């Protein structure tokens, strides 16, 4: 029974990753770029779960009761992706199967409500302890990432970005797996910023901003930096 539940968690995560890959909802996340196929259950429980762990269940967890229609549509796509892979779907608890099917078939106006129900039930343990644990971990990670994005926005919009960007550097370094995925020269500059004296913070932070915008850390980081700068310039969008 424990193995069945564990694979069920992997199946739920894999579904969201497949939907995200299909609609580009998480294109900035390295973990969602690899396709998740409907192979054997053992594949879903190992490589599939690992590939999907950063984005799958978040198709449901990212919603609030008042989320926009587009968010409900993405969650419905995740539900359809899961139902259309019966080997994965069959591993889920019966209550979750029923709720995912309801979401898949829901009228557009009901998608946010039905997806939000999946979120709240997962977090409250209604689908079992394993899925609750995974949901809580992913929600905590999402909250942390939201905080990082806000700190980055503040740094990019400030004439004195040192303290804010230093906080971002400290958070990234405290998550070794995430930090290790950054380009080596960006890792070095963030480490230098974390350890910089207060008088040097702004100069070091501006160096990182300029390098990011000019492609010094590679095209992916440049694209993200440019998007962030655009957001800062047009905060109403």
pLDDT single digits (tens) 51-95:
333 334 667 777 888 889 988 998 999 899 888 888 888 888 899
Cβ 104 vs Cβ 76: under 8 Å:
yes
Residue 150's Cα: distance from chain center in Å?
15
- State the helix-helix crossing angle for 69-83 and 94-105, rounded to 10 degrees: 120
Give the per-residue pLDDT at 108.
Answer: 95
Cβ 85 vs Cβ 35: under 8 Å:
no
Phi-psi region of 188 (alpha: psi -120 to 50; beta: other; left: phi over 0): alpha
Residues 6+ apart with CB under 8 A from 237: 231
Query: Residue holding tokens 């901003």?
Result: 209
Instruction: Please write the tens of the pLDDT for every residue from 174-232.
Output: 878 878 888 899 999 999 999 999 999 999 988 998 898 899 989 888 888 888 777 76
Give the per-residue pLDDT at 143.
Answer: 59
Question: Measuring CA to CA, which residue among 123, 5, 132, 142 is closest to residue 62?
Answer: 142
DSSP annotation of 200 reads G
Give the whole-number percent of the chain exceeding pLDDT 90. Answer: 21
Dihedral (Cα; 69, 74, 76, 77), 10-degree rounding: 150
Segment 15-32 shows an average pLDDT of 37
**Residue 30 or 128, more confident:** 128
Structure tokens at 149: 């994005």
H-only helix segments in 84-174: 86-89, 94-105, 111-124, 129-157, 162-173
Give the per-residue pLDDT at 17.
Answer: 41
Instruction: Please write the tens of the pLDDT for every residue from 102-128.
Output: 999 999 999 999 999 998 998 899 988
Give the per-residue pLDDT at 65.
Answer: 84
Give the per-residue pLDDT at 59.
Answer: 74
The pLDDT of residue 31 is above 80: no
CA distance 27 to 224: 11
Phi, psi (5° rounding) for residue 199?
Answer: -70, -20
Give the per-residue pLDDT at 82.
Answer: 86
**Helix or strand holding residue 69 (H, E):** helix 69-83
Largest Cα separation within the chain, whole Å, is: 59
Phi, psi (5° rounding) for residue 93?
Answer: -60, 150
Give the whole-number percent of the chain exceeding pLDDT 70. Answer: 67
Q: Report the mean per-residue pLDDT for the chain.
A: 73
């Amino acid at each position: 029974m424990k193995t069945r539940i564990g694979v069920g968690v992997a199946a739920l995560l894999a579904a969201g990753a497949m939907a995200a890959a299909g609609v580009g909802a998480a294109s900035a996340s390295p973990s969602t770029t690899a396709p998740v196929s409907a192979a054997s259950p053992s594949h879903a429980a190992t490589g599939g779960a690992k590939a999907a762990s950063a984005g799958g269940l978040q198709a449901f967890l990212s919603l609030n009761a008042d989320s926009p229609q587009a968010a409900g549509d993405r969650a419905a796509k995740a539900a359809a992706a899961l139902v259309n892979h019966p080997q994965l779907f069959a591993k889920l608890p019966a209550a979750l199967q029923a709720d995912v099917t309801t979401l898949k078939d829901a009228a557009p106006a009901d998608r946010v409500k039905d997806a939000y129900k999946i979120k709240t039930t997962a977090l409250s343990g209604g689908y079992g302890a394993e899925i609750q644990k995974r949901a809580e971990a992913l929600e905590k990670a999402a909250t942390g990432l939201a905080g990082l994005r806000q700190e980055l926005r503040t740094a990019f919009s400030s004439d004195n970005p040192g303290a804010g960007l230093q906080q971002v550097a400290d958070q990234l370094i405290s998550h070794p797996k995430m930090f290790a995925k950054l380009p080596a020269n960006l890792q070095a500059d963030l480490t230098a910023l974390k350890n910089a004296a207060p008088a040097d913070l702004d100069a070091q932070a501006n160096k990182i901003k300029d390098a990011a915008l000019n492609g010094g850390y590679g095209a992916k980081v440049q694209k993200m930096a440019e998007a962030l700068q655009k957001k800062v310039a047009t905060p109403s969008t």
